[in-house]
Structures are given as C-alpha cells and as structure tokens.
Amino acid sequence: MNIVLNELKIRASFLHKKLNLADPASLALVEKLSRKRQWTIPAQWQHKHCLNLVAAQVGFHDWQHVHHVFSGAAIPDDDFGDFWHQDMGFTNHWFADYQEACDYLTKHPQSFLLPYRRQYFVVEREYLEVLHLQATHPGWHQYARNLCLSYGSEFWLSLAIHRLRQLN
C-alpha cells in the first residue's frame, strides 16, 4: 500500500466517523456526491461507502477505480480519472491521442503533459504553480515534463500526495 492510498483510507475512516455522528458538513458532502453519482444513501454507513465517497471526491468513479490507478496497475489506455485537472480558466491543449499530445509537448518545451480520464492535456507552468505541483522539481526534467511517463514512480506518487493534500 502506498502513501496516497493510505491517505485516502484515513480520509474514509474520518468521514465514516463524522457520518456516524451526523456531522452536517459531512452529510452535505455525501448528499452532493451521491446525487452527482446517482448513488443511494444507505441507512447504515459502512467503511466501503466512505471509501467510494472519498474516491469520488478526488475525481474517480469509486474506490476500485482509485485503487487501480494509485496502486500502479493502470495501463496507458485506462481511465486515470480527473484527479490532475482543475477548471481554473486556463487555456490548456487537449488530446485524445497520446502520441499527438507528446508531439505537441516536444514542440512546446515550457509545457507539461498530464492525464485526464482517457485523454491528455498540456498545460503551462502557471497551471502547475496554481496547483502547487512543483514545476521546478527535477522529476519533471527526468520524465521530459510528461507526468504519464512517470506513472507509478516515486515522483508521480509524491506529486499525487501533494495534490491530494491540496484538495482538502
């Protein structure tokens, strides 16, 4: 188990406790996520429900999806969720084809490539800075500014835990 999955499990445990205490903010979050996902709110909360809710909160379908991606089991054509994306008004370049995204990245040496579900998007340094994704980290250079190339590496996981902690 890695640091990202551990963090998500801890969040699910905290959410479970808060829901059992009928915490208003947690109940409102559950209402919003359940409506969006068209999930039925259970009569009795279980840890598995909270795992799914935490996964949905950070851009995945459910716990199985987030576990697949963060355990390092995903392959290039899999759905990587929308964990790395945040709509902030930036003009990013979107690609359905990975090779096209890589070609664009090669022609734009100040850009960075990130996964989005089954697609890819290329962003500028400012996007990473707003998300606190450490645009100057040596890992970006090591992986040619392509987060997809670093999938499963310590660099990828370190950025993922950093991103996760920004999503409080």
Domain edges within the chain = 3-70, 93-166
Beta carbons within 8 Å of 58's beta carbon, 6+ residues apart: 8, 66, 81, 83, 164, 167
Query: What pLDDT score does 149 carry?
Result: 96
By the 10 Å C-beta count (0-12 exposed, 13-18 middle, 19+ buried), 107 is classed as exposed
SS3 (DSSP) at 56: helix
Query: What pLDDT score does 139 carry?
Result: 96
Query: What pLDDT score does 161 carry?
Result: 95
Q: Side-chain half-sphere of 74: how many Cα atoms within 13 Å? A: 23
Rounded to 10 degrees, the C-alpha dihedral 47/53/57/62 comes to 100
Strands (E), the chain: 93-95, 111-116, 119-124
pTM of the predicted structure, to 2 decimals: 0.91
Query: What pLDDT score does 1 carry?
Result: 64
Q: If the chain, 168 residues long, is cut into consecutive pieces of 10 residues, what is the mean pLDDT of each piece?
A: 93 97 94 91 93 96 97 93 92 95 97 97 95 93 97 95 88
Query: What pLDDT score does 167 carry?
Result: 83
